[in-house]
Structures are given as structure tokens and as C-alpha cells.
Amino acid sequence: MKMVQKSFVLLISTLLISLSFLSNISIGFASENLETTGSVEESSYYFIHYNGEEQEVVIDEEVSLKLSGWIDEDKSAVSSSVTDSNNQTIETSLQVSEGLNELYITESKSVYYRVTNSDTFSAEKVTPLELNEQLTVVEENDNGTSIEEKSTIDEYGTLIKSKELIYFFIDGIDQKTVITKEEYDSLNTVVEPTTEETTADVEAPATEETESQVEADSTPVQTQSVSATSVPSVVYSTHVQDYGWLPVVSDGKMSGTSGESKRMEAIKISLANSPYTGSVTYSTHVQTHGWLNPVSDGAMSGTSKESKRMEAIKINLTGDISQHYDIYYRVHAQDYGWLGWAKNGQNAGTQGLSKRLEALEIVLVPKGAAAPGSTSKPFVLDPSVSYTTHVQDYGWLSTVSDGKSSGTIGKSKRMEAVKISLKNTPYKGDITYRTHVESYGWMSNVYNGALSGTSGESKRMEAIQINLTGEMAVHYDIYYRAHAQTYGWLDWAKNGQSSGTQGLSKRLEAIEVVIVEKGGAAPGKTNNPLIMDPSVMYTTHVQGNGWLSQVSNGAMSGTLGESKRLEAIKITLKDLPYSGAVSYKTHVETYGWLNPVSNGALSGTYGEGKRLEAIQMNLTGEMAQHYDIYYRVHAQSYGWLDWAKNGQSAGTEAVSKRLEAIEIRLVAKGGNAPGPTAKPFIKPSLISATSTYNITLSEALAMQMKVSPQTDKYRNDPAYVSSQYLQMFNGGAITGSTVNLRTSPTTKATIAATVGKDTLFILLDKNVTGESVSGSTLWYKIKYDNKEMYVHSSLASSSLRVGQVTASTSLSIRAEQNATSHIYGYAKSGSLLHVLAEDSSGWYSIKLGAWRNAKASDVQAYLDPTTFINDEKQRLQFMNLTKSSDVPVGTLDQYLTGKGILAGQGQAFIDAGRIYGINEVYLMAHTLLETGHGKSTLANGVVYNGVKVYNMYGIGAYDSCPLDCGVKRAYEEGWDSPYKAIVGGAAFISDEYLRGNNWYKSVQNTLYEMRWNPEVMSTNKVAGHQYATDIGWAAKQINTMYEVYKMEPYTIYLEFPIYK
């Protein structure tokens, strides 16, 4: 018996395709519109070496691709998401393969990629420049025929062109010729023995040199029956609305319609020319019927004469052929267009969305070879979550789903149990959940419709947690929110977060649950899905006992009746429903108020034997918005004082009394205090001390007169200069705020100088014609700074008399028309003065500003402390500014009503005082004075370098540069809000004056010391580091302080200076 023997070997040969051939081939892998033009750009794809870690690939300015990890242990695909410029995110997966895959970004936009497994990550957009044609022998026969698989590979090893089978025949002279598939099948037959004697002739294709023949002899031979060895095909036909059964197509061709809105109603699929055993089986999902039973090998799946749409399909190979081939298929679905390719029984189409299938393509691919296109999202399914609750007096309610409310609202009925399940899941996974139940706490997790809660026990559910598992958790988030007693609907929780209340004994009354695609927008707010009862925990260090055991929520820490001092305390918060912390500070023997600490840090002293005398504590962050913190102390000699809250002082000050015990409680914002609140703190209303300086008042006065102290007392009085030292001219003054003086009468001329309002000049010519500005061509020729310049008439006056000082150094400006009267100030040689009156007395009256040199008697009136010691109001000049007044924020805000930009900023002054150790009432008074009661330009904000900044204390605003320099300083300090300007400016005052960080290292902690600095006069014998030149500055500051004192009397610490 002669048999045609077959051998299968793997032979690879690579042929470099010439450039002329390359220009003719069709490459469609990189073009986003899927049309090949041969350009470099359209031949590009993204080559990704992936290592399993979170990475990002930027596709273009609008689109980015995020890689989050391997989708399975085999590392066959990468879990990923595409985000566009609108922050819309689409979850997808990238297939690992030797060839190209297509990633759809929108319906009209896609890119190609290849992913390989690698130890390191890299991603680059590559453009193949060298394509190689690779032939692989698939089947080789002894009769000289063979099948070879042709594929096109680029220089990166990427399969560019889909594999193609080519059939060859090698004749008697070893010439290899391409033949057709039919010729190949005809030449390769299987000989089966019979008992007949006959002659078998097999003809091979003729060649130019010879014709192959098999001659018969007289020996009996076996006859042959022929069965072709072939490459299998898949053939199929669809039944379409209005058209009926369409012609049969095969191997990836479309069956159905596109763009005609016609439904597919049924399908028949079969295999042809299969060299292997096995079948094709398939099942369709049909409108109202759901999934039909599988059929195979040409049988109809779907419906006939029912006008029912096919919505999805799954196709599989069985038997031996399934070991050699994968079957791929994709569908064109209503509203979605072409979906990705499914394979080997995967669902393709939609489910639960009532969308028709309109067309289909099916293709066989050698086992493990690249898919015919993108495999992303072959099946669109809308998963659903359904749930039912067991409610007090109602029992189990009807099942609802997908965000609908289950439970009751406004009926005060508790939820006692819940069952939750998933429907229509497109991925593997479950839903798991557990509930927090009255008296039981958190129950164990249950799954997929099981009961969580209690039945027949009348126990309220108080909170719930829900989670997805498996692949569902990779592709979806589960959101849920609860309606809780007292609180109503809480915000949305997700993916295992707690929703409801805990520790508050509040019932759940209703629930809503919804599934959202991974990373999609939440159904609503997510800030506060769980309300818990926070706790305050604290421990104290007690004389002789050390640290006591921690207590909480109003319990006493300390001792009673043992005369033992508290020396330190630590306070923390637990189970916070909101962000925030607890901040606290203590008043310690000899140290006074320490700096604030928070969250369990020690406040007080350790090992020093120092008593705590008072305490303040505050909540911060969101906690402060929802809770008040109350505290009271047991003080030596006084016993339990009343409750303080939210930063108020509790205890005593300036009476040397120890704290012996403390209680602390949290109360919901605005709730009732735990007890009386009238008197939580005791300290004398007036506490005084003295500071003695080693100089006399006369010596101090002499030092002050040397630095030209200023007063506005004489602002309306006339001022005179000797006429013999003036050269008179017709002149004028600048009327604009900031004006450019130019070298010729045109705005195009060079700027010779820039001057401010009231700048004087000598008028040379008042009738100069120049460039028209604001409808006028009149310019002035002037002399300024000994140079000739020009200014437009709209920016200056021209009817003044000015005198230029001719004195060699300076000219005295006097209070009267004689050379012995008080000198208000001096005019430099060459400067101009505005002369108001010229007469024959030899003295001219001039215009002079409000601030003038003070007389010695004026200075002494403010310098002498005895002038003010017994004045209830003026003694506030000697108030120690490092001591807080503990004035409530409501009192400060009441005083600030109508004070411009400062209105409502009471808390800012309290915060600034607490942070920097400055009296808050003084800070407010200082700011009101500097800003003209909140109305000044600096206070209301000026834009500098594109940022609006504020300056509340006039810091950096020098007399010569009041606005620009003050704004620049505010910008440098970052004071871009009134609050920041108030708090930040306080740092400057605290550091340089109250803390003594200045050239002289002198501490100036009263208004009197800030103005006159007796310490520097006493030690350095000079007047130096004084806050202001105005002799009345300190006295003016106390008006606000006194008015607040009258509204809300506060403790005053006075430090009186005494000169020898």
C-alpha cells in the first residue's frame, strides 16, 4: 500500500522586501482613520514593554492611557483606562500579543499598539522603516507539495500583516511553483485499499519542461477514494428584518446590514473543508427570550416570523478542531457600532440594553495567533444591583434596584435586615456586605442575597458596608448611602466604606445602592457617609502620682481633697467623623501661657514641680464646625469652676492657685453645655507691675528731642521762612498722582523724571504747543531738578508762587515771623517752597504739611508716664501686650461692625494673638488706626504682580513710599487675604517688639515702650527703635482698646515705667 506521507516541520526564512515592493503593500495598522496612505505618521504604533506596575502613556495632548496591572496570572492582558481632555474615563484592557491590536478611543478615533511582557517599562511611538516577509512551513508532503504561512514582520519583531497561507509544488527538476488551493487539495489524496484491480493515474500540474506521469503496470493496484486535506473555513448566513436570509458568506466577511437600522433575527453557522473532527456550536440572546439553547453545524439560532431582535451571540468550536483553531467573531450593535472581537464562547453584543444586532463577522484563526482586531469590549452589559430591606412593622419590602430607595422616610421605622444581589454581571465576581446592628456591632460578611442584620429581634441597623469582589471590583465601583435617624440622607459611601452612624444609637431608615463604572462620577456628595460619636481622651500628671490612667468623655482626671497639683496633661480625639484635631495650652507657674500643642502632646512640665494654673483647648478643622469642646477644672481654694468651651480659659491666673482635676466633654455644635458656664476662669481685673530705668525724665526728653519727634497739633497753624534766603519764581505743582516729565512736548519724548502729586516746579513757559492730549495741545515748559522739562497742562497747575531755597545748607521753617520762634522743620538748599504770601516784613508765609517738629513741652506731656497712670483710659498705654484679654470673638465682631474690610475679622485677631502671643484687642486697635477703620487703600487690597495683596499694619509703608512700598512688602510676605494680612502682620510686631528681635535686643511689650523705648535710652543713652515718630501714637492707640473694655471688661496687666 502506497500512502502519501505528511511531515510537519518549522522552517523560517526571511526575505527582505525591496522599497519598490514596500510602496505597493497596504499597511493599516497606524492610521487613526484606518486608511493607509503610506506616510510615516500613519504607519506608527505604540510599542509598550510592560512590567506590571502602574504606568501612564500619553497618546496626545487630549488623551492619556493609564496601565494599572496584569489582568490575570498568565499576563495575557493589561488592565487599563483611557482618559480624554474632558476627564471622561473608559475602562479597557490591552492584549499581549506578537501582532498589532487596535484601541478605540472614540467612535471615530483609534490607535494601534503592541504590548509585550518585560522586566522594565518603556513605551514609545514607533514607525517601522524595515518590513520583512517571513515564511513558515506549515505542512510538507512527500509528493512535493507544501503549505507555507506568510506574515510581515517589522524591525521590532511585530507582526504587521495578518498571516496568509500559500500553496507550493516542487516538480521533478526542483522548481518551486505557486499553485491554487484547489490544485493542492487535488494532489493530496488519501489512498484507501479496495479489492479491484485498476490503474491509478495522478496528474501533477504541467511545467514548461515536462509532464509528470504515473504509468500503469500489470500488477494489481489499489483504487483510491479522495478526501482533501484542507484549511478550514467558517460559513454563515443571517436572517435580517425585511430581507430574510442573506447569501452565505465566509471567513470574516460581513453578514447583515450597516446603517440601515435592520435587526438580525436568526443565524446559521457551519464549518467547511475542515481537516479535523469537531463542530461549531452557537447560541443567541433574543428579545424577550433571553439566551437560547446552543445549536451547531448550520442549525438556526434565533427566531423566525416573530420579529424578535438578536441582542448577543456566543460561538465555540468543539472536538479536535478546537485544539488547532480559535474562532473569533464581532458584532455591529445598535448605537454602539462595531464592538471588539470575542472568541471561543465569549459573549458578543449587548444584554439588558434592548439593542439589536445589525451585522456579524466570523473568522477562524490558528490557535494562539493574533486576533483579527481589537478585543476590547466585545460585550456591553448593564449590570444591576437589587436589594430589599426588612423594616419595623412592615417586614420585607419589595425588591428595588439601581439607586432606588428601600426603606421608609418620615415614619421613624428602623431597618432590621437587608439582602443585596447582583444581576446581569458582565464579569466574574460577587457582592459582599455586612451591617452594624444594635447591641451586636458589626456582623460577619455575607454574599449574594443572604440576610445581613437580624430577624425577629427588633434590632436596628445602624450602619452598612458593601463591596464588590473578583473582576467586578476591577471594572465597577459600588456606591451606597443611608437615611439615618436625626441626620437624614448621609453622603455616598463606596467600596466597603461605612455608611450610617456608629456609637450614636441611631437607626437606619432607608438605603440606596448603585453600580458605577470604575472611576466614574459618584451619584452625589461623598464627604460624610458615616457619622460617629467622637471621644475625647485625656490623662494628667499629678504631683506624687505621676501619669494617671487615661479617661474619656467627661470623666475626672486628677485628685480631689489631696491638695495635689496637676503638672501636665495630654489630650487626644478618637473615632472622628470629620477631619480635625484638638489643640490645647496650659498656664504654668512662673512660665505663664505655653505654646499650643495638639493630639496627645504634653502640655505643662515634667519633673520641675510646677503647677498648672489654667488651660485652654480648641477643636480644629471640620471637627470645629460640628462639635464644641467643653472643659472645667477643680482649682485650689475655689473647687469646681464652671464649664469653659472652645478656647476659653479655665482655671485661675495671677493668684498662684493650682489645678487639681479636670473634666472634658464633646458636645454637638450648639448643643447644651454640661453645666453652668458663667465663671470658668478667675483672675484679678487689674494686675500691675513696675519697671525702673536709670535715667531722669529730663535726660529722656533731651534724647527724644534729638530725633525730631513729630506732632500734628499745629497742622492748621501758619509757617514762615526768611525771604532773604528765597529766590522767587512763577511756578506750579503737579496735580496728577504719578506724572511723567518729558524732554519735549509729546508723549513720545523721553521721560526725564516721574513725580508725584504736589511736586513743585518753576514755570518757564505756560503757552507751549505740543501733542494733543485729552483734547488739548497746551503744554508747560518747566524747570525741575535744575533741568528743563515739559508737562501737559491737564496734569499740573501754573498759578503758584514758588521760592527756591538759596541758603547754603538748609532753611529753618518757623512758627512765627522771627528768628527765635519754634522750628517746625527745615527746607534743603535748592528745594522749592510754595509761598502763600509775600510781604515787606522779611518773612514769607508758606504751605507746610500736617506733621511738624514737636515742642519740648509737647513731647514731655506724652513722655511723662505720671500724666496717664491714674487715667482709666490712658493707663492702657502701659498694658502688657503679651497677655490675652480673653475677649469673646462675638464682642470683637460686634465692635468691627461697619469697619470696612475689617468687619467680621474678630477670629483673625484672636488667632493672631494666640499664635504670636499678642493681645488681641491691641492688634485690632492697631489695625483700625493704621487702616482708617478699614477704609485705607492698603487695607482693601492692591494688585501687585497680578496678585491682590493686603497690608493691615502699614508694615513697610514708609513716609516717603507709603503705598508702593507697603504693597511690595505685602506681596513678599504672601498676604493675599485680609486674614493672612492680620495674622502675618502680627508676626512682625511680635518678633521685632514683643520678643526683642531687634538691633538693640530690647523687649517692648507695652504701647508706651513701643513708642518711647526707655530701655534703650537707659542702656544706650540714645532714643532708638521706636515704632512711630508721632508723639501721640501710643495715646491714640488706646481709644479702641478702652471702648472694647467698656463693652466686655477684661483683665488688664499694667507695667508702669519709673524714671529716677
Q: Looking up cell 511738624, which residue turns up? A: 852
Residues 622 and 506 in one domain: no
Neighbouring-strand partners of residue 661: 558, 634
pLDDT band at 14 (very low <50, low <70, confident <90, very high): very low
pLDDT band at 268 (very low <50, low <70, confident <90, very high): very high
pLDDT greater than 80 at residue 867: yes
| 462, 506 contact by CB (below 8 A) | yes
Least confident stretch, 208-212, 685-689, 804-808, 952-956: 208-212
Calculate mean pLDDT across residues 325-352: 92
| 165, 137 contact by CB (below 8 A) | no
pLDDT greater than 80 at residue 455: yes
Cell, residue 381: 452589559
- Residue 284's identity, in one-letter code, is T
Q: What pLDDT does 35 receive?
A: 34
Task: Decide if 563 is inside a domain.
Answer: yes
Range of 72-76, 334-338, 1018-1022 with top mean pLDDT: 1018-1022
| 603, 595 contact by CB (below 8 A) | no
Q: What pLDDT does 88 receive?
A: 67
Contacts of 520 (CB under 8 A, 6+ apart): 89, 477
Q: What pLDDT does 189 receive?
A: 58
pLDDT band at 446 (very low <50, low <70, confident <90, very high): very high
State how far the Cα of 839 lies from the Cα of 999, in Å rounded to an integer: 50
State how far the Cα of 480 lies from the Cα of 431, in Å rounded to an integer: 13
pLDDT greater than 60 at residue 5: no
Task: Decide if 199 is inside a domain.
Answer: no
Q: What pLDDT does 199 receive?
A: 35
Report the percentage of the chain scoring pLDDT > 90: 66
State how far the Cα of 766 lies from the Cα of 777, in Å rounded to an integer: 12
Q: Looking up cell 518549522, which residue turns up? A: 10
Give the distance, in angstroms, between the CA of residue 915 and the centroid of all CA atoms in the same chain. Answer: 28
- List, for residues 111-133, the tens digit of each pLDDT value: 888 999 888 999 988 888 888 87
Q: Looking up cell 470629620, which residue turns up? A: 578
Q: What pLDDT does 430 receive?
A: 94
- List, for residues 664-683, the tens digit of each pLDDT value: 999 989 999 999 999 999 88
pLDDT band at 23 (very low <50, low <70, confident <90, very high): very low
pLDDT greater than 90 at residue 1059: yes
pLDDT greater than 60 at residue 930: yes
Calculate mean pLDDT across residues 481-487: 93
Give the chain's end-to-end CA distance (angstroms, integer): 140
Q: What pLDDT does 140 receive?
A: 78
Residues 866 and 804 in one domain: no
Cell, residue 702: 533731651
Calculate mean pLDDT across residues 520-544: 94
H or E stretch covering 473: helix 470-475
* Host domain of residue 676: 535-682
Look over the chain and give the mean of its residue pLDDT values, rounded to a whole number: 87
Q: What pLDDT does 154 receive?
A: 85
Last residue within a domain, chosen from 636, 664, 682: 682
State how far the Cα of 730 lies from the Cα of 800, in Å rounded to an integer: 6
Calculate mean pLDDT across residues 524-532: 91
Coil/strand/helix, residue 871 = coil
- DSSP for 68-123, please give it: EEESSTT--EEEEEEE-TT--EEEEEEEB-SB-EEEEEETTEEEEEEEEE-SS-EE
Backbone CA torsion sign across 639, 640, 644, 650: positive
State how far the Cα of 339 lies from the Cα of 333, in Å rounded to an integer: 7
Nearest of 337, 317, 369 to residue 101 by alpha carbon: 369
- DSSP for 306-320, please give it: S-PPEEEEEEEE-GG
Q: Give 734 or 503, the one with higher predicted confidence.
A: 734
pLDDT greater than 90 at residue 827: yes
Residues 823 and 872 in one domain: no
Residues 261 and 286 in one domain: yes
Nearest of 799, 803, 781 to residue 790 by alpha carbon: 781
Least confident stretch, 153-157, 161-165, 415-419, 863-867: 161-165
Residues 553 and 508 in one domain: no
Q: Give 1032 or 178, the one with higher predicted confidence.
A: 1032
Give the CATH number for residue 971: 1.10.530.10
Least confident stretch, 243-252, 377-386, 614-623, 761-770: 377-386
- List, for residues 886-903, the tens digit of each pLDDT value: 888 999 999 999 999 999
pLDDT band at 218 (very low <50, low <70, confident <90, very high): very low
pLDDT band at 282 (very low <50, low <70, confident <90, very high): very high
User: Which CB contacts under 8 angstroms, 24+ apart, belong to 823-826?
Assistant: 823/853, 824/714, 824/719, 824/848, 824/852, 824/853, 825/852, 825/853
Give the CATH number for residue 832: 2.30.30.40
State how far the Cα of 146 lies from the Cα of 125, in Å rounded to an integer: 38
| Bridge-based pairing state of the strands 530-532 and 499-502 | parallel
Backbone CA torsion sign across 854, 855, 860, 861: negative
pLDDT band at 208 (very low <50, low <70, confident <90, very high): very low
- List, for residues 585-599, the tens digit of each pLDDT value: 999 999 999 999 999
Coil/strand/helix, residue 926 = helix
Q: What pLDDT does 959 receive?
A: 67
Residues 115 and 61 in one domain: yes
Give the distance, in angstroms, between the CA of residue 939 and the centroid of all CA atoms in the same chain. Answer: 31
State how far the Cα of 162 lies from the Cα of 1059, in Å rounded to an integer: 104
Nearest of 278, 295, 302, 451 to residue 364 by alpha carbon: 278
Last residue within a domain, chosen from 329, 346, 380: 380
Nearest of 541, 533, 626, 540 to residue 574 by alpha carbon: 533
State how far the Cα of 239 lies from the Cα of 253, in Å rounded to an integer: 15
DSSP one-letter code for 321: G
Q: What pLDDT does 320 receive?
A: 92
pLDDT band at 192 (very low <50, low <70, confident <90, very high): very low
State how far the Cα of 214 lies from the Cα of 1033, in Å rounded to an integer: 129
Q: What pLDDT does 127 receive?
A: 87
User: Which CB contacts under 8 angstroms, 24+ apart, belong to 846-851?
Assistant: 846/719, 846/720, 846/721, 846/803, 846/813, 847/719, 848/719, 848/813, 848/824, 849/715, 850/712, 850/715, 851/710, 851/711, 851/712, 851/715, 851/1029, 851/1030
Q: What pLDDT does 150 receive?
A: 77
Q: What pLDDT does 346 receive?
A: 92
Residues 485 and 392 in one domain: yes
pLDDT greater than 90 at residue 303: yes
State how far the Cα of 133 lies from the Cα of 154, in Å rounded to an integer: 9
- List, for residues 364-385, the tens digit of each pLDDT value: 999 999 999 999 889 887 788 9
Q: Alpha helix locations (H) across 190-313? A: none
Task: Decide if 1023 is inside a domain.
Answer: yes
pLDDT greater than 70 at residue 203: no
Q: What pLDDT does 10 receive?
A: 29
Residues 429 and 566 in one domain: no
Least confident stretch, 15-24, 415-424, 913-922, 1029-1038: 15-24
Task: Decide if 187 is inside a domain.
Answer: no
Residues 425 and 558 in one domain: no
Total of domains in the chain: 6
pLDDT band at 1045 (very low <50, low <70, confident <90, very high): confident
pLDDT greater than 60 at residue 215: no
| 240, 246 contact by CB (below 8 A) | yes
pLDDT band at 21 (very low <50, low <70, confident <90, very high): very low
H or E stretch covering 659: strand 659-668
Last residue within a domain, chosen from 532, 555, 577: 532
- Classify burial at 738, counting beta carbons within 10 Å of its beta carbon; exposed 0-12, middle 13-18, buried 19 or more: exposed
Cell, residue 496: 466597603
- Percentages helix, strand, coil for the chain, rounded to the nearest 5? 15, 40, 45
Q: Looking up cell 422616610, which residue turns up? A: 409
Dihedral angle over CA of 52, 58, 62, 65, nearest 10: -10
pLDDT greater than 80 at residue 31: no
Task: Decide if 689 is inside a domain.
Answer: no
Task: Decide if 191 is inside a domain.
Answer: no
Cell, residue 316: 465555540
DSSP one-letter code for 796: B
Task: Decide if 371 is inside a domain.
Answer: yes
Q: Give 428 or 341, the one with higher predicted confidence.
A: 341
State how far the Cα of 209 lies from the Cα of 220, in Å rounded to an integer: 31
Residues 810 and 862 in one domain: no
The 10 Å Cβ neighbour count of residue 202 is 14
The 10 Å Cβ neighbour count of residue 841 is 11
Q: What pLDDT does 198 receive?
A: 35
Residues 904 and 1045 in one domain: yes
pLDDT band at 642 (very low <50, low <70, confident <90, very high): very high
Task: Decide if 924 is inside a domain.
Answer: yes
Residues 56 and 161 in one domain: yes
Least confident stretch, 102-106, 294-298, 868-872: 102-106
- Residue 359's identity, in one-letter code, is A
- List, for residues 93-116, the tens digit of each pLDDT value: 788 877 788 887 765 678 888 999
Q: What pLDDT does 108 receive?
A: 66
